[in-house]
Every structure is written in C-alpha cells, then in structure tokens.
C-alpha cells in the first residue's frame, strides 16, 4: 500500500468513526428516554401504592414485548431511507416514510387489538391471582390504545435516523418525558380534585406523552424545508419490490426481537421456579445489562444507517470498513463496562436493595453477568449491519437457534437439574450470546469475501 493510499484509508476511518458517533449518541439518549418513561411510571405509582405498582408491572410486561416487536418491524424504514440517500435518490425517501406509516398503522392497530382483547385473557391463563389480573386489566388496555400512536411515531423517528437526523427524536423523547411526569403527578394520586387513578393513571399519562411525541414528530417532518423535495407529500408509485424488501427487513428484525424477548421472558419464569429472591436477583441482573445495552443499541442504529448508505452506493469496501469500526467501538465500550460491573458488583447490588440475602445472590450473578455484555452487544450490532446490506434470513435464524433452541433449555437445565440456581440462568444467557455473536461474525466474514455488494 502506498503512503497516499494509506493516508486516504486513515482519513476514511476517521470520517466513518466521526459519523458513527454523530449518529449513535442521540439514539442512546433517545433510548434512555424510553427507559426513563417506564421508570418514572414505576416510581410515581410505587409511592402511591405498592399494590398498584404490582398491577402496573403486570400490565407493562406484555405491552413492552408488543412494543419492542412492533418497533422492530419498522426497521425497514431506517434501512431503506439510508440506502436511498446512499444511492443519491433522496427524493425517494418520502415514499419509504409513507409506506412505513401505512405499515406502522396496521401493525399498531393489530398490536392494540391483541393487547386490548386478548391481554387480560392471557393473564388469566397464567393462573395469576384474580385481584392481580383484575387490577392489571385497565392499565393494560390503556397501554394497548397507545400502541398505534407509538408505532407511527417510531416510523417517523426511524425515517429521521435514516436521513442522519437522530437528534430530533432524542430531544422530543425527553420533552415527552416531561409531559409524562407532569401527567403522572396529576393522574396517579388525583391532584386538583381529580380522582386517584393509580396504575391506570400512569398508563393514561403514557398515552398522553406518546401522543404528544408522535404529533411533534409529524409536525416537524411536515414543516421541514426540504420535505417536498424528499417526496414526503408525493404519493409513492407502485413499487412491489421496494415495498416487499422494506417489509422483509422489518419482519426479520421483528422476528429476532420476538425470539429474544420471549426467551428472556422465559428466564423470568425459570427464576420464579427458583424462588422469590431469585426473581429479585434476576431483575437486578437484567436491569444492569439493559442500561449498559443502550450504547450498543445506539451504535447498532448508527451502523445500520451508515452501512445502508454504503450499500446503496455500491461501496463494498465501505461496508466492511464501517462494520469493523462499529464492532471495534462496541467491544471497547463493553469491555470497559464489563470491568466496571465486575469490580463494582457489590456496590451495584447494594444500590438496588438492602436485603442481605438478595445482595448475597446478586453479587456473584452480576460478576458472571458482566461477561454477557460484550457478546450480547456485539451480536446486535453485527445483526443490524447485516440487515442493512440485505442479509435478512441468517441473522433471524441465528437468533432463533441461539436464544430459543439453545438458551431456553440450557438455562433451565443449568439452573434446576444442574443445581446452579440463578447463576445457571446467567450462564445459559452467556453461552447463547457467545454462540450468536460467533455465528454472525462468521456470516460477516463470508459476505466480506465477496468482491462487490
């Protein structure tokens, strides 16, 4: 390699690294905003009534699964928008948005119907106490009503991220958090002479905040100076191939999200079979991993946009370079977090609870769980980079094999027959994450051997 070629390569790496950070950090802030909204609900409801907090938690769990899967189904909006920008056809991005809004409305209405009509029935099938099911039903049905609104807002956010404008969604998400908190303080305890709505009030506050967020996103897009040139106001022409690919990308991401969410929900059940302290311990482990996961999630979104652009431009070398940079940044960050969790497990556990028995279980589980963070984060980033280049089936199949066929039975075996307890669950997740990241790395290496996109 000549000196000039080496310098150009270094310049390209620096530019890609800067672009990755520019796109990633607003997404991290936005996703933290999503977590903060749920945390605010729990804190305000918990201070109002411990019983109502249980109702809220029971309603929140199934709605979160539907929310994550529904949002993932719109992954094609982001990828196809980035591709159109990379191909030098920004005027076609409006068609991507319009298709995404129609698809999102259908997904949201279906999700709302399932949660509203079948959610309470499913809770009843789990043989939960009658009072718990009865108390969780009103907030669950209110959460259901917010699904179409949220999914449509997610389509708008994904489109803006595909354009390279993730800051808008981040700012508006935290503004929605302020609205949510104000509504919580009024509706949950019943301020200003209003009746105390408890858990149902928290769900109503979430509905109001999500409505405000989606409305703000729609207004922003409609008022963009370049909205007309981007094709926002132009009815999309009939393009079956583009529509099909956009849908397939979303279905792949949605299926992967469902497999992971369902498998991790299964871990809660296994922890429940072990005992109430193990449930509390597992919730601490999951919460720590979830917080650490926000940065890799931002990187995954950024790499999806950048790889999508490179794919649209037919830049095979750019795809490889951007992907490797994202993988390296992910591993560097996660290894640092792993070290922090490993060294600070005792302090972290004590921050969640003062119960000595729970802390005694949580510390070794956190030490072990620290090792989950790098491979789990890496497999998500790799999967997103592969989908952005049109590889849909393999990432989804990998997640099914790793988390459904391997993790679920292995965690059960290690935790119960194997006698490993809560550590057995953590070990099952760790092995599945290592398997998933290894298989996806192999897939990336095989695709990278191809001379062209």
Under 8 Å CB-to-CB from 381, ≥6 apart: which residues? Answer: 296, 299, 300, 303, 326, 327, 330
Q: For residue 453, what pLDDT band results from cuts at 50, 70 and 90? A: low
3-state secondary structure of 33: helix
pLDDT tens digits, one per residue of 318-368: 999 999 999 999 999 999 999 999 999 999 888 877 778 888 988 999 999
pTM: 0.84
Query: Do 132 and 168 sit in the same domain of this protein?
Result: yes
220, 237, 254 - which closes a domain:
237
237, 266, 287 - which closes a domain:
237
Whether the pLDDT of residue 3 is over 60: the answer is: no
Query: Do 66 and 90 sit in the same domain of this protein?
Result: yes
Query: Do 178 and 263 sit in the same domain of this protein?
Result: no
Query: Do 261 and 356 sit in the same domain of this protein?
Result: yes
Query: Do 430 and 328 sit in the same domain of this protein?
Result: yes
Query: Do 219 and 343 sit in the same domain of this protein?
Result: no
H/E run at residue 89: none
User: In which domain, by residue range, is 264 found?
Assistant: 241-453
209, 237, 265 - which closes a domain:
237
Q: What are phi and psi of 191, to 5 degrees?
A: -85, 165
C-alpha span between 204 and 227 (Å, rounded) = 32
Quote the pLDDT of residue 5: 62
Query: Do 183 and 284 sit in the same domain of this protein?
Result: no
Query: Do 312 and 212 sit in the same domain of this protein?
Result: no
pLDDT tens digits, one per residue of 62-116: 888 788 888 888 888 999 999 999 889 999 999 999 999 999 999 999 999 999 9
Whether the pLDDT of residue 417 is over 60: the answer is: yes
Whether the pLDDT of residue 189 is over 70: the answer is: yes
- DSSP, residue by residue, 393-412: HHHHHHHIIIIIIIIHHHHH
Residue 267 to residues 95, 258, 261, 263, 351, Cα–Cα distance (Å): 41, 14, 10, 7, 23
Query: Do 326 and 343 sit in the same domain of this protein?
Result: yes
Lookup: tokens for 268: 């809660």
Query: Do 182 and 298 sit in the same domain of this protein?
Result: no
State the angle between helix axes of 50-72 and 198-222 in degrees (0 to 180), rounded to the nearest 10: 30
Query: Do 112 and 190 sit in the same domain of this protein?
Result: yes
C-alpha span between 37 and 209 (Å, rounded) = 9
Average pLDDT taken over every residue of the chain: 89
Torsion sign over Cα 69, 70, 73, 78: negative
Lookup: tokens for 254: 């949605």
Number of domains in the chain: 2
Quote the pLDDT of residue 425: 93
State the angle between helix axes of 3-48 and 198-222 in degrees (0 to 180), rounded to the nearest 10: 150
User: Which residue has better confidence, 430 or 252?
Assistant: 430
Query: Do 154 and 289 sit in the same domain of this protein?
Result: no
Whether the pLDDT of residue 250 is over 90: the answer is: no
User: Which residue has better confidence, 139 or 36?
Assistant: 139
């Amino acid at each position: 390699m000549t000196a000039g070629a080496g310098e150009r390569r270094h310049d390209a790496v620096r530019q890609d690294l800067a672009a990755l950070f520019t796109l990633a950090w607003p997404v991290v802030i936005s996703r933290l905003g999503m977590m903060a909204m749920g945390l605010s609900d729990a804190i305000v409801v918990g201070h109002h009534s411990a019983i109502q907090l249980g109702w809220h938690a029971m309603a929140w769990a199934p709605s979160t699964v539907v929310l994550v899967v529904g949002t993932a189904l719109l992954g094609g909006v982001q990828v196809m928008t980035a591709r159109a920008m990379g191909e030098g056809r920004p005027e076609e991005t409006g068609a991507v948005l319009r298709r995404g809004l129609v698809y999102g409305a259908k997904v949201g209405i279906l999700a709302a119907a399932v949660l509203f009509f079948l959610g309470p029935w499913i809770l009843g099938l789990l043989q939960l106490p009658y009072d718990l099911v009865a108390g969780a039903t009103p907030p669950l049905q209110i959460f259901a009503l917010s699904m179409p609104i949220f999914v449509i807002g997610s389509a708008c956010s994904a489109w803006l991220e595909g354009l390279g404008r993730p800051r808008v969604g981040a700012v508006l998400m935290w503004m929605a958090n302020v609205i949510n908190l104000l509504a919580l303080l009024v509706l949950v305890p019943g301020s200003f002479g209003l009746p105390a709505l408890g858990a149902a009030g928290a769900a109503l506050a979430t509905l109001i905040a999500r409505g405000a967020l989606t409305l703000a996103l729609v207004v922003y897009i409609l008022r963009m100076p370049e909205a007309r040139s981007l094709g926002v106001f132009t009815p999309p022409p009939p393009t079956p191939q583009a529509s099909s690919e956009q849908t397939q990308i979303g279905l792949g991401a949605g299926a992967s999200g469902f497999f992971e969410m369902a498998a991790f929900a299964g871990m809660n059940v296994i922890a429940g079979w072990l005992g109430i302290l193990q449930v509390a311990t597992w919730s601490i482990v999951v919460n720590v991993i979830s917080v650490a996961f926000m940065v890799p999630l931002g990187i995954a979104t950024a790499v999806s946009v950048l790889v999508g652009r490179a794919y649209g431009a037919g830049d095979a070398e750019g795809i490889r370079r951007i992907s490797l940079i994202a993988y390296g940044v992910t591993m560097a960050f996660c290894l640092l977090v792993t070290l922090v969790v490993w060294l600070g497990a005792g302090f972290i556990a004590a921050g969640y609870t003062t119960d000595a028995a729970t802390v005694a279980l949580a510390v070794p589980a956190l030490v072990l769980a620290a090792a989950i963070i790098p491979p789990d984060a890496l497999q998500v980033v790799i999967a997103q980079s592969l989908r952005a280049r049109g590889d849909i089936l393999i990432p989804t199949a990998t997640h099914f094999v790793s988390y459904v066929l391997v993790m679920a039975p292995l965690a059960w075996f290690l935790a119960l027959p194997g006698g490993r307890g809560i550590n057995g669950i953590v070990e099952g997740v760790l092995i599945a994450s290592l398997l998933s990241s290894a298989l996806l790395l192999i897939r990336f290496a095989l695709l990278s051997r191809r001379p062209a996109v």
